[in-house]
């Protein structure tokens, strides 16, 4: 059997490649140089320290208009975020052989671990990124055996960060429920309650020799209910609104909150799953820690009954999350 060994983007970059290999060169209309972000407009920034009613209203508005906002005063200690970033940086700084011990193998269903997308056919373009993916919650889904063992603090730091992600998820789902005129527990309950799943994806974008021709992540919406992301200080994330791209500036200590597909469906389109992409940098490595909050696979997700009536018919079909994922991965209609 032929074992396909992924060529890591980091290895290409470390090797000092001067010209972007052709599988990374985007078609002209997708290139950052031909689809520039609108200047002078900034994304919503929402402080959790405001009165509850104000936060409910601001979060609902941001999720209706953008599907995206920056959350501040969330109570996560900057020192914890710094430690999370440090253990991720140390992992990606390990020798290549050591990282390869964690290689994922999507073909055999092993999605957790160290990964790089490979082209399936000659025309397909790939992104300038390596990543590390694993579950953080619930405990029954977590396999510590696939988490980085080096640096040794990885597990402790990540478990502490996970607690904060669960806390902020509860807060956000409560605010978003109230924004829909529902009782605070409504969204968490339909997303699986305490079985709600939390996934960590560390995105690693090495310096790119021709960043104007490449993308770190191509335009997509997240399949999650919510995505809570922290980047390092290298900008690159862009979000789309009304057909235009907007750059998201780095804001220290803010959480970058994305509405994902499941919340768009549950809210029957009131909240928008944000289309986003990331650009890469010529000199510096960009990293981001994306936390995806998803329902368990067999959870049935559709527009909430309370939001649907004769005047407001369901705009989305109802199906299990597993079915949704299968269709999205295989580019089938939902
Ligand atoms: C993702 C993503 C953007 C970023 O991981 O789904 O969109 O800023 N990442 O790294
Ligand atoms: Ni995304």
Q: Tell me: the pLDDT tens digits for 2-48?
A: 445 678 999 999 999 999 999 999 999 999 999 999 999 999 999 99
Count the Cβ atoms, other than its own, within 10 Å of residue 77: 11
Confidence (pLDDT) at 5: 61
The pLDDT of residue 3 is 47
Contact by Cβ (8 Å): 118, 164:
no
Q: What is the pLDDT of residues 74-95, one digit of tens each?
A: 999 999 999 999 999 999 999 9
Contact between residue 283 and residue 207 where contact means Cβ atoms under 8 Å apart? yes
Q: Rounded mean pLDDT of 96-116? A: 94
Give the pLDDT score at 4: 55
Q: What is the pLDDT of residue 107?
A: 84
Residue 221 CA to ligand 2 centre (angstroms)? 6
Other C-beta atoms lying within 10 Å of the C-beta of residue 40: 5
The answer to whether residues 161 and 249 touch, using CB atoms and an 8 Å cutoff, is: no
User: In this model, does residue 71 exceed pLDDT 90?
Assistant: yes
For ligand 1, say whether the CB of 115 is within 6 Å of any of its atoms. no
- pLDDT, tens only, 238-281: 999 999 999 999 999 999 999 999 999 999 999 999 999 999 99
Tell me which ligand sits closest to the C-alpha of residue 127. Answer: 1
What integer pLDDT is reported at residue 2 of this predicted model? Answer: 46
- pLDDT average, residue stretch 52-77: 98
Q: What is the pLDDT of residue 7?
A: 86
User: What is the mean pLDDT of the segment spanning 286-290?
Assistant: 98
* Model confidence at 120: pLDDT above 80: no
Q: 152: which DSSP letter?
A: T
Distance CA 46, CA 70 (A): 6
Q: What is the mean pLDDT of residues 188-210?
A: 98
User: What is the atom index within ligand 1 of the atom nearest the CA of 220?
Assistant: 7
Residues forming the active site: 201, 220, 222, 276
Question: pLDDT per residue over 205-247, tens digit each?
Answer: 999 999 999 999 999 999 999 999 999 999 999 999 999 999 9
Q: Rounded to whole angstroms, what are the CA distances from 70 to 7, 48, 314?
A: 34, 10, 30
Closest ligand 1 atom to residue 205 Cα is 10
Once rounded to an integer, what is the mean pLDDT over residues 291-308? 98
> Mind listing the pLDDT tens digit for each residue in 300-318?
999 999 999 999 999 999 9
Q: How far is the CA of 244 from the centre of ligand 2 (A)?
A: 17
Pocket test for ligand 1, best of 229, 240, 279 (most atoms within 8 A of CB): 229
Q: Are 159 and 215 in contact (CB under 8 A)?
A: no
Alpha-carbon distance values, 290 to 18, 64, 189, 224, 317 (Å): 29, 22, 23, 11, 27
Whether 203 lines ligand 1, by a CB cut-off of 6 Å, is yes
| Ion ligand 2 — residues with CB < 5 Å | 222
pLDDT of 15: 92
Q: Is 217 in the pocket of ligand 1 (CB under 6 A)?
A: yes
Of residues 2 and 331, more confidence is placed in 331
pLDDT(102) > 70: yes
Instruction: Say whether pLDDT at 152 is over 70.
Output: yes
How far apart are the CA of 97 and the centre of ligand 2, in A? 28
pLDDT(1) > 50: no
* Residue pair 316/301 in contact by the 8 Å Cβ criterion: no
Of 131, 142, 127, 255, nearest in space to 199 by CA: 142
Count of all residues that appear for the chain in the document: 334
Give the chain's radius of gyration (CA, Å). 20
Which atom, in ligand 1's list, is nearest to the CA of 276? Answer: 7
d(Cα 271, Cα 257) in Å, to the nearest integer?
Answer: 13
Residue 116's contacts (CB-CB under 8 Å, 6 or more residues apart) are 6, 7, 8, 9, 129, 130, 131
Residue with CA nearest ligand 1 atom 5: 290
pLDDT mean across residues, the chain: 95
- Compute the distance between CA of residue 103 and CA of residue 86 in angstroms, rounded to an integer: 21
Beta strands in 109-267 (DSSP E): 113-115, 130-137, 197-205, 217-220, 226-231, 237-241, 244-247, 255-259
Choose one of 43, 278, 289 to mutate for the ligand 1 pocket test, by most ligand atoms within 8 angstroms of C-beta.
Answer: 278
Ligand 2 centre to CA of 220 (Å) is: 6
**Is the CA virtual torsion 106, 9, 6, 153 positive or negative?**
negative
Name residue 131's beta-bridge partners: 115, 203
For residue 272, CA distances in Å to 26, 63, 66, 259, 269 come to 27, 6, 7, 6, 6
Respond yes or no on whether the N-terminal peptide bond of residue 310 is cis (omega within 30° of 0): no
Per residue in 36-49, pLDDT tens? 999 999 999 999 99
State the alpha helices, DSSP H only, in the chain. Answer: 9-14, 52-65, 78-93, 96-100, 154-179, 186-190, 261-266, 321-329
Within a 10 A sphere around the Cβ of 14, how many other Cβ atoms? 12
What is the average per-residue pLDDT within 53-69?
98
- The phi, psi pair for 301, rounded to 5°, reads -120, 125
Q: Residue 299 C-alpha to ligand 1 middle, in angstroms?
A: 25
The structure tokens listed for 14 are 């470390």
């Amino acid at each position: 059997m032929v074992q396909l060994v992924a060529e890591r983007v980091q290895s290409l970059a470390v090797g000092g490649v001067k010209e972007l290999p052709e599988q990374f060169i985007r078609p002209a209309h997708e290139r950052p140089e031909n689809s520039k972000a609108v200047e002078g407009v900034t994304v919503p920034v929402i402080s959790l320290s405001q009165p509850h009613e104000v936060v409910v209203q601001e979060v609902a508005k941001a999720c209706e208009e953008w599907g995206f906002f920056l959350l501040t005063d969330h109570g996560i200690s900057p020192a914890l975020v710094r430690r999370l970033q440090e253990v991720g940086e140390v992992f990606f700084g390990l020798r290549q052989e050591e990282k390869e011990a964690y290689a994922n193998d999507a073909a055999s269903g092993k999605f957790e671990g160290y990964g790089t997308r490979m082209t399936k056919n000659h025309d397909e373009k790939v992104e300038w990124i390596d990543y590390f993916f694993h579950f953080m919650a619930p405990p029954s889904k977590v396999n510590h055996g696939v988490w980085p063992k080096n640096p040794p603090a990885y597990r402790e730091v990540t478990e502490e960060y996970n607690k904060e992600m669960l806390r902020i998820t509860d807060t956000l789902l409560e605010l978003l429920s109230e924004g829909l005129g529902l009782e605070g527990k409504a969204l968490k309950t339909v997303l699986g309650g305490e079985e709600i799943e939390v996934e960590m994806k560390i995105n690693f974008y090495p310096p790119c020799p021709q960043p104007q021709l490449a993308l770190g992540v191509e335009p997509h919406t997240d399949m999650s209910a919510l995505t809570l992301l922290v980047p390092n200080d290298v900008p690159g994330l862009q979000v789309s609104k009304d057909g235009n791209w907007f750059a998201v500036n780095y804001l220290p200590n803010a959480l970058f909150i994305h509405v994902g597909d499941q919340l768009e469906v549950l809210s029957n389109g009131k909240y928008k799953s944000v289309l986003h992409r990331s650009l890469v940098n010529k000199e510096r490595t960009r990293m981001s820690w994306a936390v995806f909050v998803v329902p368990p696979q067999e959870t049935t997700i559709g527009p909430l009954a309370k939001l649907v009536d004769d005047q407001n018919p369901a705009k989305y079909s109802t199906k299990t999350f597993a079915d949704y994922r299968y269709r999205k991965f295989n580019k089938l209609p939902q």
